[in-house]
Structure 1
C-alpha cells in the first residue's frame, strides 16, 4: 500500500466487480470484490468508542492511529508496492474519515438506473431456481414485489447503498468522488477508464476489454447466489427487456439523482453514456 489507496463504492449490480476486474489487469494495481476491510474498520470504531468503557483511556491521536492502521495492517504484507482499490458500499458513509486518513484518496462510485439494478438482482434469483438467496434471508415464500421492497428500504441492499451515495454526493468531500455509470463502462470502456485514470492521477494503461476475467465462486455459493460476482469475459452492453412488472420497473424512475445537473451542487465528476 506504499503507493496509495483508493476506494470503489456506489450501487450494487452497477459494475464494481467489472471495474475491479479491469483495474487488476494493470500490474501496478490491486483490486477485487468487496473486502472484509469495511467490517474490520467498523468493528474498530466500536472498540474505540464509548461503548467500550475502557476507551476512556484512548486519546484522539491513538484513536486516529488505530482506525487508520487497519488499512496498512490488512494490505501491507500482501500488496505493499501496489496501488490498492478497496471495494465496499459503506465507504460512501465514511468519506470524512477517509479524507482524514488518506488526503489523496479518491472514491470511484459505480451507478446504474435503480430499476435495472432491481431487474439484475431478480434475474439472478430466477437463474438460480434451486437455491435460496441470503440476499433475502433464504426466504422461500417471497414474490418479486416483496423482494424489491426488501431491497429498496433504507437498510436493504439497494436502499442502503443509494442513501450512502446521496450522503457522499451532497457532502463536503464530494470532490473526491467520480461516478461511473454502468452503461458508460460497458459501452465505452476505453474512454471511461481513461477518465478514471485522469481522476485518480495515474498514467494511462492499455487494458484488454475482450479478456476481462473475475469470479468469486467460493463467496457466492454459500450465499445461494452463484454468479453474483462473475464477470463476463468481454466488456459489452447487452440490451434486454426487463423481467419486472411494468409498474414496479417505473417505480424508481426519479432515483437517478446524479443525472440531473441541477442536483450536482458540488460539480461531482460523472461519467455517463449519454454525454
Structure 2
C-alpha cells in the first residue's frame, strides 16, 4: 500500500487520475480510511474502556485488518494509493503498519493554492461552501484566505503536516511532487513516481485523455469543481485573483525548495525534471 498526501489544489487528483490509467493501480480522491484508523486508534488509546482489554500487539493487527477490509477484493499484485491530507501527519504510523510504503506529497506554492481555492469560491456564488466555517470566515477574500490558513483548516493543516513529514524520521519514504512540474512534464514526472515506488512503467498512459469525476463529494462540500480534472494535462499560466498584499503574505512558504535537513526525495526542475536525493 502507498499513500498520496500534501497540499490541496496541488495535483493529487490529477496524479490519481493518471495512476489509475494503469489497470494494476487503484487511486482515487480523499478516502475514508484515515478517518476509520483515527477513530479506532481513539477507541484503543488511554482513557477508553476498550484500551484496558486491547494490548499493544493487537493494535497493529486491528488497524491492518481495517486497511485490508477497506480494500477487499483487490488482487495480490494490485498497487493501492490511498489519498488523504492527514497521511503526512501520520508517517510514524504508516511506517509501523507498512514499512515499505511510499508517500507521494503533492505541493504547490501556497499563494497559488489560495488563488485556486478563491477562484472555486467565486465560481459558486449561489453556494455557502463549508470550507470557511461560517459567515464570518467567508465574508471577504481576506477572511477566506485567513480561514484556510489556520492550523486546523484545509491549507494550514496540510502545510503543517507536510512540513512535519518533510523533516521527520520517515522522510526518506516520501516523494514531493510539484504541481507545475507535473502539469508541464507529466510523463517525465510519472516515470519518476514509478521509479520511486519500484514499479515497472506502464505504456498505456494517455496524457491527452484523463478522466476523473467526484461530483457528489464536491456537492457535499458546496464547492463544485474541487476535484475536476481537465482531459489534457497542461500548465496554464494566469494572473492571480488575490490582492497583491495577500498574495505576497504567503509567498515564502515553499520550504520544500530548500532541501537542507530533509531526507525526502524531491522532484526538481533543472535541465529536465529529475529526482533529487536530498538524503545525502
TM-score w.r.t. the length of structure 2 is 0.93
2:105 — aligned with what?
A: 109
| Among 187, 191, 210, the residue aligned to 2:188 | 191
- The DSSP-based 3-state class of the residue aligned with 1:32 is strand
- The DSSP-based 3-state class of the residue aligned with 1:261 is coil
Counterpart check, 1:123 vs 2:124: no
Q: Which shifted more, 127-136 or 102-111? A: 127-136
Task: Give 1:78 deviation, angstroms.
Answer: 5.0
C-alpha distance in 2 between matches for 1:81 and 1:203: 12
Structure 1 unaligned blocks of 5 or more: none
C-alpha distance in 1 between matches for 2:43 and 2:222: 32
C-alpha distance in 1 between matches for 2:163 and 2:73: 34
| Among 134, 138, 146, the residue aligned to 2:130 | 134
Q: Which shifted more, 247-256 or 113-122? A: 247-256
In the TM superposition, what are the counterparts of 1:44-59 in structure 2 within 5 Å? 44-59=40-55
Alignment coverage as a number of residue pairs: 269
Aligned CA-pair RMSD: 1.4
Task: Give 1:51 deviation, angstroms.
Answer: 2.7
Deviations 1:216-267 (A, max 9, x none): 00111121111111111000001100000001001112110011133xx234
| Among 14, 23, 45, the residue aligned to 2:19 | 23
Deviations 1:102-151 (A, max 9, x none): 11100000000000000000000001111111111353851000000001
Q: Which shifted more, 125-134 or 241-250? A: 125-134
C-alpha distance in 1 between matches for 2:96 and 2:114: 34
1:203 — aligned with what?
A: 200
Task: Give 1:80 deviation, angstroms.
Answer: 5.4
1:239 — aligned with what?
A: 237
**Contact 1:133 / 1:139 at 8 angstroms: preserved in 2?**
no
1:77 — aligned with what?
A: 73
| Among 31, 37, 57, the residue aligned to 2:33 | 37
1:64 — aligned with what?
A: 60
Q: Which shifted more, 30-39 or 126-135? A: 126-135
